[in-house]
Chain A
């Protein structure tokens, strides 16, 4: 615990100290006092953190305060963007219509959510019971990934208030229409898949029963939606053979996106299991993490073969070795995200060491996110530059993206504290 009186004087320091001491934890507030008996009771039950006491999650920490500050700044940017328009808030232009928000928040956010359908499918359809203990966390994680993508795309489109148009004005030739429909359907599915946590907490048996009845169907629906959604983000780029650099453009780009998302999804789930093990009082299940690492190795190998095949049959190996900016980006992306992780995982000493797996997870996450930025932002740079365009994200674009990441982290933390995120099964 930091003693703030040392920095800001006894008076303010005292106030901050008291605040940080979790004395005013949300669970100490009696909601019935202001929200009425019924609603207040529900809120009280929801904010009761005794079941997760053993995780030792502190809500008021310097890190959390930074997250809140970032979210606050992002909210300001969001309001500014809605009032003054996309041109005022971003550095996007006619030659570079899609930037950071699409490249990172949407393409990256959705790819990071791929863990959920894999784990849910493994648990509910394949009946691999071992992974049940991480199912809730990975589904929640995906929920935030998709929320991040959904909020960002809402702010990215120039007419945010009519973003619902594709849902009623169907245009089935458009991959973007398919993306929009999937985004909404899958968010609903993830909400359904996550709802048992809330219902359990509230003790609403009837709702719980109803959800468990449709759970397997929901999981299958989620698997189908995810397969399509992950690949359709890549399919968005099928129509730009003359604009996207041949280093990334391929008729198989939907499959590249899907397979790399699966690789990323497994890594994210493993990363988050290990991370929650590090920051919460919670022991990561060893066999689960090792299983995920094996998954990363298998899927990563498939991805590597696909990418090498594309390189050899498409632009040629020379295209990435010529020292060009895009060639170097490709080399970094592939080295960090695929080759290095696969080499590391080929050692038994890495596969069986949780800390080393953690490092591999981080590499894969960085590499695949970089791939999305390469396709979404840098890949069109040659076309844009030839037409006279240039792009670097504005302060506001960067701030919003950081705020969205902060939102996902804080949201996950809140859920870990107040919801039964880690079932007792593996304690």
Chain B
């Protein structure tokens, strides 16, 4: 990558800062913001409607839809080496997240995984690898965590054989892939050895299949012998570089030291009080190549510096007989 806008220098600084424990988060993410405000034209236009932020909470957050409608690059387009795409299930085509370097993304994924105290060994994936799904950020992330011969997406018999012989297994997959595997098992049960874990992520996008988290965790216990405390949830999105983890049921997600979650009131945009619900904004200093502040579409409850994710429940929306146009698009 050419160092045409100091991206590489800042990337190196951030990488060292992440490795060193991320002291002085506010100064660092404000530096990232200033860099993006300078070098990302679409974001610069957006920021022109906001004053310079005095603290990280004031960094203007772009809605996730911005990745569908705008070209959010903090580097020259010609230096793009990878573009990841969202599933595009909510209308308007997929969102696109461009990278000129995967270095910080890889560091955030591996360091975040380790920081959540997830083991680096014995990890298997129920996810297509990066070669099979080149536009999937999840596949790319998994490729840094899982050896190439441990991708078992749509290889259920081999996975079952592997699990039955394993001394320990850490299964990383989407909730949907776990369900598919359990359906294929057709009632069969195995008891994974002590120390085994499941890391579920991703949900059920575009499938019209939904299952409450409690039911999924019950199935994981029934079919694999994994109690809820041995099941982790990874909350991430294509538009970010970092991930947020929780384990078990009813516990909040925690940000890695170089990121933050902020739960804000939808009517005022100000952080809600402890235990209150609002919209989730995410701040990610590792997201250097695009925008470090994202307004998600998810609701969450503020739990100290963490957040308890409750997603978006369409059934909670008051509806009359007016057709919501996205009903036809979904």
A binds B: no
Seen from chain A, the residues whose Cβ lies within 8 Å of a Cβ on chain B are none
Seen from chain B, the residues whose Cβ lies within 8 Å of a Cβ on chain A are none
